[in-house]
């Protein structure tokens, strides 16, 4: 079992984007870049989804998330690091799930400073 202030791996499916389907275009072959590879300015970017999720976080969240890492594995967004509370983590997961191209959000080894301060 994990210690206080840590979470285990959790997969959160994106309700709006079923796996393999996106808002940009349905899978029609390889004539266009997949949505998870589209960068902030519409250019091809191997880590485009992670960069767009991080930009969304920075625009939407007022709290410090500098210790949170946002990565991607295909259309899966992976969050690791430290955030202030579970409430903030829930908000970040909801934001990430709504970014174009996200199929799932994984939470890996996220610690909470709020709970760590209590112990």
Residue 11's pLDDT is 67
Is 59 buried (19+), middle (13-18) or exposed (0-12) by CB count in 10 A? exposed
Domain assignment present for residue 4? The answer is no
Backbone angles phi, psi at 87, to 5 degrees: -60, -45
Domain ranges, residue 15: 10-21+29-118
Domain assignment present for residue 46? The answer is yes
Residue 84's pLDDT is 96
pLDDT per residue as tens digits for the range 24-37: 545 455 578 899 99
* Total count of domains within the chain: 1
Residue numbers of the chain with a pLDDT score lower than 70:
1-30, 115-119
Select from 105, 114, 116, 100 the least CA-distant residue to 37: 100
Domain assignment present for residue 5? The answer is no
Residue 32's pLDDT is 85
Domain assignment present for residue 1? The answer is no
CATH of residue 54's domain is: 3.30.1340.30
- Taking the model in full, what pTM does it have? 0.74
């Amino acid at each position: 079992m994990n210690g206080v202030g840590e979470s285990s791996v959790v997969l959160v499916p994106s309700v709006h984007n079923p796996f393999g389907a996106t808002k940009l275009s349905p899978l029609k072959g390889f004539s266009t870049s997949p949505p998870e590879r589209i960068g902030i300015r519409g250019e091809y970017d191997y880590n485009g989804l992670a960069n767009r999720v991080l930009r969304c976080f920075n625009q939407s969240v007022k709290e410090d998330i500098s210790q949170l890492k946002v990565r991607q594995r295909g259309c899966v967004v992976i969050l690791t690091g430290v955030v202030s509370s579970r409430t903030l983590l829930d908000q970040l997961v909801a934001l990430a799930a709504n970014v174009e191209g996200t199929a799932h959000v994984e939470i890996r080894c996220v610690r909470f400073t709020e709970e760590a301060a209590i112990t």
